[in-house]
Chain A
Amino acid sequence: QLQLQESGPGLVRPSETLSLTCTVSGDSITRTNYYWGWIRQPPGKGLEWIGSISYSGITYSGSTHYNPSLKSRGTVSVDTSKNQFSLRLSSVTAADTAVYYCALEKYDGSGILPPFDLWGQGTLVSVSS
């Protein structure tokens, strides 16, 4: 069945770029009704949506949306050849220390965005020198 698995460094230095990958297994990342997203959770705090990407049927370009609180530091992209999607977060600080989850929204064409009904297990990223 469809599964998501995050991977990436557990430690990133301040001011550098955090890079994480989510590997999708059990289905194609090019399904047009799927929205792939990243959510994070700082230790002891709540969930924060980072950004999402969807496939237009032709390409993934121009189909991303981000939380404005990131101040344009985040980029979500897809590698269709590897069936993976990724997150890059630039100029990180200690405030970016969190468990990062990748997740899936399966759009049904109703005009209302569905919930995140599939999540990866999460990966802890610490920002420290």
Chain B
Amino acid sequence: RKEVEQDPGPFNVPEGATVAFNCTYSNSASQSFFWYRQDCRKEPKLLMSVYSSGNEDGRFTAQLNRASQYISLLIRDSKLSDSATYLCVVNPRGGSYIPTFGRGTSLIVHP
């Protein structure tokens, strides 16, 4: 099993739809989690951190489920500009710093 797994998609959704992505991780000792957005041929940009209590930023909600070892990203009222690849990253607890990115989930929002 890979350390961090994401469904590569693509997820094809109409404008205004709600869409959710999951990211599963295998290391139960993982400490911190983030979602990044990457546009085609551009660098990843931080979308949001994922806290144990969950967090929300406008149309975006991130959740952490430690028991089942996954994080999720929910996008409400999708916009055309949300079309991108969404990458999760999982950081281990303690020891050397070795973050692990998922391969990303592609989202295409169409009119």
Physical interaction between A and B: no
